[in-house]
Chains A and B, each alone.
Chain A
Amino acid sequence: MTAVLAAQGLIKSFGDLIAVNGVSFEIAEGETFGLLGPNGAGKTTSISMVAGLLEPDNGTVHVAGTQIRTNSTNGRSDIGLVPQEIAIYPDLTATENLRFFGRLYDMPGETLDKRVEEVLEVIGLSERQDDLVSEFSGGMQRRLNIGIGLLHRPRLLILDEPTVGVDPQSRNAILESVEDLSGEGIAVLYTTHYMEEAERLCDRVAIIDEGVIKAEGTRRELVSLVGEKDRIRVTVTGDLVEVARVASELPAVHEASPADSGVDVLANDASSVLPELLSRVAATGANVTGVAVSEPNLEAVFLHLTGKALRD
């Protein structure tokens, strides 16, 4: 698949502080790519360079084949930016905000009118389109913030921590709308320090800390990279020692041990090992009353890679 975004060797310093040091990644069409890291990790600096707001000290950014520079407008129409702060005008209505930014992207009259209506529908603000934004709730403002980024149909949408300070209901609505974007073929660059969001939304994740990408890949690749296993709790009645023994004979099982009213199994890939495991347990005459699978998460990966928690 063609890369919509290609960031190569990005370096940016502020005085003695190296904020970003050699960051490289690519995002394909329809792919959602997450930059996961704690506050101050270099996420916002990285996306500022991608969006052409900051000139890198070194490295290049190409969007749809065009190099992005701070002193050039080339390629800007292919980028949609949703800043971390709510970047809208409170004393304008929702429609006025959308129209103003649409005109900056040279959207012609009828196209703009139609697109404004579509976006208002997508973000659920059609009925409040003529109200001043200052009268909106925080969640509604967040949705409009995203809507402006989508308005001109960018090929790359950059979302910088779009759910910070949002109530759970609005947060879920935002995440759902982001999930829909990949279906529309938009490449999404999503920065967050919420592990759950990265796991839910992103096809691939780069873990960034102190300006450096520590690891990159799918969730599964990242987890396997650091040797973390899936944990399967099989609740059974019968000979627990025998159940543990037969379970441990499976090649994908790393460890199996009796526990309270069941057996704990550590395996490389729970979904692939589970059918065979249950079959063997049943063969011992034990009665399986429940199965619970807990996969290792990115929080654990981050801890493993950096020695600190995401929210440190």
Chain B
Amino acid sequence: MGAATRIAGKDLKLRVRDRSAFIMGIVTPLALAYIFHLVFGGTFSEEALDLQVGLVDLDDTQVSQSLGEALSGLEAEGVLVLTDFDDTASAEASVEDGEIGAYILLNQGLGAAAIQGQPFTIEVVGDVDSQTTTQVTSSIASEFGSAIERSQLSVTTAIALGQPPPPDELAIWGEEAALRPPAFTFVDVSADTRQLDANTFFAAGMAVFFLFFTVQFGVVGILEEKQGGTLARLLAAPISHTSVVAGKAILSFALGLISMTVLIVATHYLMDAEWGPPLGVALLVVAGVLAATSIMGVIAATATSADGAANLGAIIAVILGMLGGTFFPIGQGNDFLARLSYLTPHAWFMRGLANISGGAEWTEVLPAVGALLLFTLVFGTVAWVLLQRKLTR
């Protein structure tokens, strides 16, 4: 172990002198994360989801009022802000002025049509610049319309089954069904789709993306020693081959750990990134650095030159980074890509962080840590065997 740490210490001194690891491991990811934070930070943040919804109830029946009750309930939950309008003109003006993003128009006769099983129309008018609000408002209106249709269907079915109630009872039955407010249920999203806030997302994304470039400086060093002729000198010394490989792996691990630690602290203070409980983050970072070192170790073991390893490593790092969702949440809305992304350590790192960054217990990170350690076990074993074999050729 002494020889391994001496080799790692020597390499660390060389990396500090040529500044390459500093630039790749700290300066570049920090600069990119900060740029992304400035450019996209506002659009991704939760604070930006400000749903201003209007309601124009020209029908003013118990049926139409049930929608108003449902919307008020959502307002009480903090999902949206509701504004009631007496007529469409004032609602439209409000949309024009940007005060609301969309409004729902319930025309006169809606209640009667609903009870009598007649066709009815619910209109949604939205601002072209407020697509998210318009989409959410349309979904609410659609759900309300479906609820009315279901009540109409149940009445129709009863008649078709030969059990027609008396006409006066039918009217009451239909009215009661139509009056039932639509059930909008808001639940905590599952871990699969839980998201980081924009600042943390870009900070973590850039950190883990460039981690793969940073750890390369360690393991690829074996090829540089070979090209520089110093590998022969190391192997002729009274130290084991294991010490040489371990020395390079220690440097990779140390560079990765230093890079991640600096980035976590820097992005926390510069970008308000919320990484989560320190113990959980520490476990995730250690597991992530180990996984990155293992994968880059396999590349170093299979490449024939340091330049070749750097090029191949860059290609692999970019592909894994993109697929793993370090630049954008690639799996959202696409199950196949979401599943595919879990073949990358990046996705597990981001998932682990998402699980704990919202203030959850540090133990929430354990599944992701387990997955990253599995990557380490598989790729680390392959890299270890291949690198040892490379030294005896």
> Please, what's the 1-or-0 string for A93-116, where 1 marks a CB less than 8 Å from any CB in chain B?
000100011011110000000000
Task: Chain A residues near B17: list those with CB within 8 A.
Answer: 91
Interface residues in B214-273 by Cβ distance below 8 A to A read: 228-230, 232-241
A83 close to B229 (CB less than 8 A): yes
Task: Chain A residues near B229: list those with CB within 8 A.
Answer: 83-87
CB distance from B271 to the nearest CB of A (A): 34
* Alpha-carbon distance between A236 and B229 when the two chains are bound, in angstroms: 57
B238 close to A76 (CB less than 8 A): yes
Task: Chain B residues near A73: list those with CB within 8 A.
Answer: 238-240
Find the A residue at minimum CB distance from B18: A91
A55 close to B10 (CB less than 8 A): no
Task: Chain B residues near A140: list those with CB within 8 A.
Answer: none
Looking at the complex, which one of A53, A71, A104 makes contact with B6 (CB distance below 8 Å)?
A104
A70 close to B238 (CB less than 8 A): no
CB distance from A106 to the nearest CB of B (A): 7
Q: Is B3 an interface residue (CB 8 A)?
A: yes
Interface range for B: 20 to 34
B18 close to A83 (CB less than 8 A): no
Task: Chain A residues near B233: list those with CB within 8 A.
Answer: 81, 83, 87, 101, 148
A104 close to B228 (CB less than 8 A): no
Looking at the complex, which one of B14, B18, B234 makes contact with A104 (CB distance below 8 Å)?
B234
Q: Is B392 an interface residue (CB 8 A)?
A: yes
* Alpha-carbon distance between A103 and B241 when the two chains are bound, in angstroms: 16
Q: Is A298 an interface residue (CB 8 A)?
A: no
Task: Chain A residues near B228: list those with CB within 8 A.
Answer: 85, 87, 89
> Please, what's the 1-or-0 string for B1-31, where 1 marks a CB less than 8 Å from any CB in chain A?
0010010001001100110000000000000
Task: Chain A residues near B6: list those with CB within 8 A.
Answer: 100, 103-104
Find the A residue at minimum CB distance from B9: A100
Interface residues in A56-85 by Cβ distance below 8 A to B read: 70-71, 73, 76-77, 79, 81, 83-85
Task: Chain B residues near A273: list those with CB within 8 A.
Answer: none
Looking at the complex, which one of B10, B13, B238, B392 makes contact with A106 (CB distance below 8 Å)?
B238
CB distance from A98 to the nearest CB of B (A): 12
B392 close to A70 (CB less than 8 A): yes
B10 close to A100 (CB less than 8 A): yes
B230 close to A81 (CB less than 8 A): no
Q: Is A52 an interface residue (CB 8 A)?
A: yes
A101 close to B392 (CB less than 8 A): no
Task: Chain A residues near B3: list those with CB within 8 A.
Answer: 104
Looking at the complex, which one of B13, B18, B230, B236 makes contact with A52 (CB distance below 8 Å)?
B236
A89 close to B238 (CB less than 8 A): no
Interface residues in A246-277 by Cβ distance below 8 A to B read: none
Q: Is A51 an interface residue (CB 8 A)?
A: yes
Task: Chain A residues near B235: list those with CB within 8 A.
Answer: 52-53
Instruction: State whether A55 and B392 are in contact (beta carbons under 8 Å apart), knowing that A76-B238, A86-B229 are contacts in the complex.
Output: yes
Looking at the complex, which one of A53, A87, A105 makes contact with B238 (CB distance below 8 Å)?
A105
* Alpha-carbon distance between A106 and B6 when the two chains are bound, in angstroms: 11
CB distance from A95 to the nearest CB of B (A): 13
Looking at the complex, which one of B10, B240, B241 makes contact with A89 (CB distance below 8 Å)?
B10
Q: Is A174 an interface residue (CB 8 A)?
A: no
Q: Is A286 an interface residue (CB 8 A)?
A: no
Interface residues in B273-299 by Cβ distance below 8 A to A read: none
Q: Is A88 an interface residue (CB 8 A)?
A: yes
* Alpha-carbon distance between A104 and B237 when the two chains are bound, in angstroms: 7
Find the A residue at minimum CB distance from B234: A104
Find the B residue at minimum CB distance from A79: B236
B239 close to A51 (CB less than 8 A): no
Task: Chain A residues near B13: list those with CB within 8 A.
Answer: 92, 96
Find the A residue at minimum CB distance from B236: A81
Instruction: State whether A92 and B230 are in contact (beta carbons under 8 Å apart), knowing that A51-B236, A105-B238 are contacts in the complex.
Output: no
B14 close to A91 (CB less than 8 A): yes
CB distance from A65 to the nearest CB of B (A): 16
* Alpha-carbon distance between A206 and B239 when the two chains are bound, in angstroms: 31
CB distance from B15 to the nearest CB of A (A): 9
CB distance from A72 to the nearest CB of B (A): 9
Instruction: State whether A77 and B238 are in contact (beta carbons under 8 Å apart), knowing that A83-B232, A87-B232, A87-B233 are contacts in the complex.
Output: yes
Find the B residue at minimum CB distance from A74: B238
Task: Chain B residues near A89: list those with CB within 8 A.
Answer: 10, 14, 228, 230
Find the B residue at minimum CB distance from A72: B240
Task: Chain B residues near A87: list those with CB within 8 A.
Answer: 228-230, 232-233
Task: Chain B residues near A106: list those with CB within 8 A.
Answer: 238
* Alpha-carbon distance between A92 and B3 when the two chains are bound, in angstroms: 18
* Alpha-carbon distance between A268 and B236 when the two chains are bound, in angstroms: 44
Extra 19 A-B pairs, beta carbons < 8 Å, given A81-B236, A89-B230, A91-B14: A51-B236, A52-B235, A52-B236, A73-B238, A76-B238, A77-B238, A84-B229, A85-B228, A86-B229, A87-B228, A89-B10, A89-B228, A91-B18, A92-B10, A96-B13, A100-B6, A101-B233, A104-B6, A148-B233
Pull 30 A–B residue pairs with CB atoms less than 8 Å apart, ordered by A.
A51-B232, A70-B392, A71-B241, A73-B238, A76-B236, A76-B238, A77-B238, A79-B236, A81-B236, A83-B229, A84-B229, A86-B229, A87-B228, A87-B232, A87-B233, A89-B10, A89-B14, A89-B230, A91-B17, A92-B10, A92-B14, A96-B13, A101-B233, A103-B6, A104-B3, A104-B238, A105-B237, A105-B238, A106-B238, A148-B233
B interface residue numbers (CB < 8 A to A):
3, 6, 10, 13-14, 17-18, 228-230, 232-241, 392
